[in-house]
Each structure stands twice: as C-alpha cells, then as structure tokens.
Amino acid sequence: MYGGGKAMLKLNGDKVALHADQLEVSPDGKYFYFQTAGPMYRLETKYSDDPNISFAGLSKKGTYCFDFPACCGTAIDADGNLCMSDAHEKRILKVTPDAQSSVLVQNPRLIWADALWISHAGALWIPVPQMNRTAGSQRGVETVRFPVQLFKMEPGPKPFRD
C-alpha cells in the first residue's frame, strides 16, 4: 500500500495492508460496486437477493470493473459515475459505468482523500485525513499536518435528487 508515493509501513517494518471497503450502488439499483484493496468489481443486485445462489456461486457473479489498487474513498453520482480517490497520485478520478476514467482534480494537497460524498447542491466534498501519515502507517512516526483539510469541488458530479 502506498500513499503519496511512499510505502506505508508498520512499526516493525512490515507493509501495511488495508482492507478498504469501497461500496456503492448504482442510481438505478441494478449494480453493487465493491472493492477490497484491489480492483473494483460489480455485481448485479438481483443476485444478492436470490436465496438459491450459494456464496460460492454469488462470488462468480461479480465482474471486473476497474483496476484501482490505491483507492481510499468513493462516491457515485446520479449518472452512475464513480468518483474515486487515488491516495498514491493525490487525485480524484471519475469512472463511467463502462469503465472509462478521467481525472476530476489532481492536487498535492489531496493527501489520502477519503470518504467522498456528493451534496444535493452538486458539490463533491473531499475530506483529507492524511491516513498515510499516521504513526501506524509510517513505522511509528506521526507526520500528519494539522488541521486536516476538507475540500469542496464545485460544480461537482451530478447529485441525486429526492
């Protein structure tokens, strides 16, 4: 695991392995997107409610969506585009439902952007907690620069409406 171009290491020097839980549902409810420290996959939600499919069978229904190993946070917009934070490159990507990616923003201040969310007004909120600079990720040395930041990108992705 890398953050900001630097390997994340435990106090004993072992590599940090995060089991992130990036989870999103498409606006139409058809797909469930998921990632656990590796590529993004998606599953048609109809399979998750089928009592006749075993766990092993369900795992075979997931399909590869997008290779993004350094993702920390996601949000999905009203058009089904995923916004994904890239901790390594300090950027936010937009990934379309057909897996085409583009850079929404890249900035050296986006140090481990996480927990993205899209407001009803259409702003993309980007918390920047600097998790890669915590003592648990840098061999016991805390390098977080306070105060941590919260950025807002306007106009952002298309918001959901109630």
**Domain residues of the chain, as ranges?**
2-153
Element (H, E) at 71: strand 71-76
Q: Are strands 40-44 and 63-66 parallel, antiparallel or unpaired?
A: antiparallel
- Indicate the burial class of 45 (C-beta count within 10 angstroms; 0-12, 13-18, 19 or more): middle
Question: Does the model's pTM come out above 0.85?
Answer: no
Q: Residue 131 gets which letter from DSSP?
A: G
Distance in angstroms (rounded) separating the CA atoms of residues 22 and 76: 11
Residue 52: per-residue pLDDT:
93
* CATH code linked to domain 2-153: 2.120.10.30
pLDDT digit of tens for each residue in the chain (162 aa)?
777 777 788 888 888 876 667 899 999 999 999 887 678 899 999 998 899 999 899 989 999 988 875 678 899 999 999 999 988 899 999 999 999 999 999 999 999 999 999 998 889 999 999 988 999 888 899 999 999 999 999 877 777 765
- Kindly report the length of the chain: 162
State the maximum Cα–Cα separation within the chain, in Å, rounded to a whole number.
Answer: 51
Report which of 75, 148, 138 is spatially closest to residue 111, judged by C-alpha positions: 148
Distance in angstroms (rounded) separating the CA atoms of residues 158 and 162: 13
- Indicate the burial class of 88 (C-beta count within 10 angstroms; 0-12, 13-18, 19 or more): middle
Neighbours of 38 (CB within 10 A): 12
Report which of 35, 37, 7 is spatially closest to residue 22, judged by C-alpha positions: 35
Per 3-state DSSP, what percentage of the chain is helix, strand, and coil (rounded to 5)? 10, 35, 55
Q: Angle 150-152-99 (CA atoms, 0-180°, nearest 5)?
A: 105
